[in-house]
Amino acid sequence: MKWLIPMVVVTAVLAFVQLLTGSSMSPVTALAALFGGDGTERQIIVELRAPRVLVGLGAGACLGVAGTILQSTLRNPLASPEVTGVGSGAILGAVVATTIGSESPIEMVVLALLGGMLGGGVLWLVASLRGSDPLGLAVIGVLLSAMLAGATLILLTARPQLAGAMTQWLVGSLNGRTWEHWSALWPFLVIGLAGAFLVTVVLGVLAVDDDHAKAVGVSVTPWRIVVLMLAVLTTSVAAATTGALVFVGMLAPHAARALVGSDQRVALPLSALIGAATVAAADIVAQNASLPAGAVTAVAGAVVMIHVAKRTSAATVGGMR
């Protein structure tokens, strides 16, 4: 438990700094406005910055949960929304929703969910065909993501009027997030987080091995499907509301595990917090350089992924030799 409370504080501080960061006014003015400044400045904070911060925290927490679930359930330290096809599938779904002219964020989340299920389903199929060594499956997941991203770009080109939002989908950003996005996000966030916390015990059992799970009376396949659906749900909500915040779902679970080990009851909430804090920190950096937040997380996450790939390769390939 010892890391949870400090992490709540870190996340809160980062979120507060994020609330004060922005191009329209200096942090000092923002601070003054927060405690009863004049109309416009206060309005900017309440109508523009607050939903931005909340959507970022929510999406980050979702991705942290999704990454933890994927990594423990698939027993693959490399699994993450980006390396399983779930993330790109969800983006494809959200872009399909915009292509058919859907305005409501709920429809977008539902289609993202279908897309995420498609991506995850294909990976599941391939895994059952060829067996699932961690590195090989991750390579297939990367390929699958590339394919779904290609399809997404075809859709975006086929509808030139949507192409303006292209960057937004391919590398997520919190620009222009409103209370409408937050109201689409929070019900699913609550469902996803509550569901994930309810199944942490199962998660811990599935992470060990199937025989162990059977021995303690967990029916493996149904539970794995339930748990993976939670991962798809949380990934899709994040994708539909922010676009691809690349590698947050890779980074957060590894950071959490490095801090507290593999006890899911602590690691899962910690990963959610780290995910939220990562997005807040990335957005602070991104806003100061007027970059999309997803670009910052992509570069930071790539470093983590390289490190994990090396360690996994040393453990599995080296171990066989």
Partner 1 sequence: MIRGFLAVLAVLLIIGSLMLGTPFVGVNRLFAGGIEHIVVVELRAPRLLLGLLAGGALGVAGLMLQESLRNPLAVPELLGVSGGAAAAVTVCVVFGLTVPGAPLLPAVAGAAVGAGLTLLAVRGAVGPEATLLIGAAVSAALQAVLLAASALADSRDQGVLVRYLLGSLTGTDWADVLVVGIALAVVTPLAVLCLPSLKVLRLGDEAAASAGLNAGRARVVVLTVSCLLIAVVVGFCGPIAWIGFLAPQLARALGTASAFWSMVFGALLVVAADLAARTVLYPIELPVGGLTAVIGVAVGILVLSRRRRRVPA
Q: Which residues of the chain form contacts with partner 1 (CB under 8 A)?
A: 78, 82-83, 122, 126, 129-131, 133, 135-136, 138-140, 142-144, 146-147, 149-151, 153-154, 157-158, 160, 163-164, 166-167, 170-171, 173, 246-247, 289-292, 294-295, 298-299, 301-303, 305-306, 309-310, 312-314, 317-318
Q: How far is CA 256 from CA 64, 109, 214, 234, 253, in A?
A: 9, 27, 27, 18, 5
Which residue's CB is nearer to partner 1, number 5 or number 143? 143
CA angle 271, 294, 285 (to 5 degrees): 90
Single-letter amino acid code for the residue at 192? G
- Please state the closest distance from residue 218 (CB atom) to partner 1, in A: 26
What the block records as the tokens of 24 is 């329209």
Pick 29 or 167: Cβ nearer partner 1: 167
Question: Which residue, 11 or 76, has its beta carbon nearer to partner 1?
Answer: 76
Q: Could you tell me the smallest distance in angstroms from the CB atom of residue 215 to partner 1?
A: 25
Distance between CA atoms of residues 278 and 87, nearest Å: 18
For residues 135 and 191, which CB has a smaller minimum distance to partner 1 in the complex? Answer: 135
Q: Please say which residue, 215 or 303, places its beta carbon nearer to partner 1.
A: 303
Q: Give min distance, CB of 97 to partner 1, in A.
A: 19
Find the shortest distance in angstroms from Cβ 180 to partner 1. 22
**Shortest separation between residue 13's beta carbon and partner 1, angstroms:** 26
Question: 3-state secondary structure string, the chain?
Answer: CCCHHHHHHHHHHHHHHHHHCCCCCCHHHHHHHHCCCCHHHHHHHHHHHHHHHHHHHHHHHHHHHHHHHHHHHCCCCCCCHHHHCHHHHHHHHHHHHHHCCCCCHHHHHHHHHHHHHHHHHHHHHHHHHHCCCHHHHHHHHHHHHHHHHHHHHHHHHHCHHHHHHHHHHHCCCCCCCCHHHHHHHHHHHHHHHHHHHHCHHHHHHHHHCHHHHHHCCCCHHHHHHHHHHHHHHHHHHHHHHHCCCCCHHHHHHHHHHHHHCCCHHHHHHHHHHHHHHHHHHHHHHHHHCCCCHHHHHHHHHHHHHHHHHHHHHHHHHHHHC
Of 144 and 268, the one with the shorter C-beta distance to partner 1 is 144
The residue (of 108 and 148) whose beta carbon lies closer to partner 1 is 148
Q: Which is nearer to partner 1, 258 or 320 (CB)?
A: 320
The alpha carbon of 167 is separated from its chain's Cα centroid by a whole number of angstroms, namely: 17
The least distance separating partner 1 from the CB of residue 98, rounded to whole angstroms, comes to: 15
Minimum Å distance from CB 240 to partner 1?
19
CB of 6 to partner 1, least distance (A): 29
CB of 250 to partner 1, least distance (A): 9
- Identify which of residues 30 and 118 has a Cβ nearer to partner 1 in the complex: 118
Distance from C-alpha of 77 to C-alpha of 129, rounded to nearest angstrom: 21
